[in-house]
Structure 1
C-alpha cells in the first residue's frame, strides 16, 4: 500500500454500497412504471389482436339446442352465422332476429361459446289447437300463431274451425279460450267454431253446442259450463257467465 492511500474502513464500504443501492432504487423507481405501462400496453394490444383480428378465435361452428319440430340444420341455415369471422365480431342481435323469424320459434337466446362457437338455444312454440287452413292442418299456439303443419289433426288437440272474416285476432281469441279450458272440459270438446273475436262457439263430442262469446272470463265460463252440463240441453250459453242460459 502506498503511503498516500487512505484505506477504506468496512463501515465506509457498507455506507457506500447502501448509497449505491438507494441510487439504483431511485433510478429504477422512475423507470419501472414506464416499463410496466409498456408491458401492459403490449399485452392489451396482443389481446385485442387475438380477439378481434386473428384467426385464433374465429367461429368454427354453431351449437343448437332446444329444437323439436325444427331441425338444428334449419336453425343454422336461418341464423346464417359467418363461420370464419372473429367470434367477438359476430352480430348476436342480427342472428337472434333471423332465428326469431322462424314461425315455430317462441324465444331464442344467442351467446358466444368461447373460444370458437356460437350457441343458439331455441324454445319452440307449443300447440294448443289445430286449424284447417285451405286443407292444411296447422298447429296454433296460445297466442294464436300458426307455426307448424300436421299430416292429420292429432287426437289430443282441439280443432278450431274459422269462418270467412275470422282474422288473426279471432284466432288469438280462440287460442285464449282453448288455453283456459280445464282438462275435464277439453276432453268433451270436438271443435271450436270462430266467426269473430266475440263469436266463438264450442261443439261438444256428443253434438251439443256452447255459445262462448270472446275469450274474456274463460276460466269462469268453463266453471259455469261444467256445472250446466249436468242439465240436459242442446245449447248452452255462457257468454255472460253470471247469467247462463240453456235451450232445447
Structure 2
C-alpha cells in the first residue's frame, strides 16, 4: 500500500489558511521568547567570568569592563565591553560572549613579552607581535619579569618590520639555556641576525630558520676558544 506525505488523516493537504495560522502562532511564540529575554530580568547578567588572565589582575579587567549586572543579556553591548578591556596594555586580544541563562564570559589573551628595546629614551617591552606595550625609565626599573629578556637591536623595530619579525621568531625559539645567556639580538636584515651573549661573544645566526639545529650546533662549539661562532649553516659551524 502506498503512502502519501503532507496530507492529514483524511488524505487532504492542510489548507493555506491553516499553514498561515500555524506560522503566525510560531512567530508569536518566538517573538514572545525574544521579548522575555530582552525585556525581563529572567536572563540578566548575574555572573561575569574571566578566563585567561595570568599577569593582568582579574579585578582590573572587571573594573574596566563595566559589565552591567542585572541587565538582560540581550541588551548587553559585548563589543563595547571588549573594546574597553582591549585598552589594557598587556591584553593582546579579548572576546566577550553571552552564556545563558545569566553569565558574561570574558576570554582574554595576554601579550607575551619577548624582548626589550630602547625607545624614545626609555626601555620598552615588546611582545611576540612586535608591539611595545610597557615602558620604563631605564633598565634598573625593569621588573624581574622582564629583566631576563634580550635586547632587540634593529634599525626600525616594530610590528610591520620584517627584520623585527625575524628576530622575534628567533628569540622565541631559543632553548632556555641559550635564552638565559643571550644579552641582545642584533640584525640589519631578516637574514643577518646575530646573538650577543652575556660573555660578549657573538653567535652569527643568519636567518630565522633551523633554530633548533643552530642552537644545538652552537652548544657544541661554545666550548671552543673564540669570540665569534657562526652557526648560520648549522651543519658547518665556524669559530673565529
Contact persistence 1:173–1:214 (CA under 8 A): yes
1:122 CA displacement:
1.6
1:217 alignment partner in structure 2: 210
Which residue of 147, 151, 172 corresponds with 1:160?
Answer: 151
1:148 alignment partner in structure 2: 134
Gaps of 5+ in 2: 1-21
1:114 alignment partner in structure 2: 100
Normalized against structure 1, the TM-score is what?
0.68
1:31 alignment partner in structure 2: none
Bigger CA radius of gyration: 1
Determine helix, strand or coil for the equivalent of 2:209: coil
Once residues 171 and 100 of structure 1 are traced to their aligned partners in structure 2, the CA distance between those partners, rounded to angstroms, is 24
Normalized against structure 2, the TM-score is what?
0.69
1:61 CA displacement:
6.6
Cα distance change of structure 1 residues 242 and 216 upon mapping to structure 2, 3 Å threshold: same
Q: Are 1:232 and 2:225 an aligned pair?
A: yes
- CA deviation profile, 1:48-92 (whole Å, cap 9, x unmatched): 221022344344674434324433455346656566653124354
Once residues 190 and 40 of structure 1 are traced to their aligned partners in structure 2, the CA distance between those partners, rounded to angstroms, is 68
Contact persistence 1:225–1:238 (CA under 8 A): yes
- CA deviation profile, 1:83-110 (whole Å, cap 9, x unmatched): 6653124354564466456542244342
Contact persistence 1:60–1:83 (CA under 8 A): yes
1:232 CA displacement:
0.7
Cα distance change of structure 1 residues 166 and 47 upon mapping to structure 2, 3 Å threshold: closer
Pick which of 228-237 and 158-167 moved more: 158-167
Q: Are 1:90 and 2:83 an aligned pair?
A: no
Cα distance change of structure 1 residues 166 and 88 upon mapping to structure 2, 3 Å threshold: closer
Gaps of 5+ in 1: 1-35
- CA deviation profile, 1:137-185 (whole Å, cap 9, x unmatched): 3333333333334631637623223243344332222221111111222
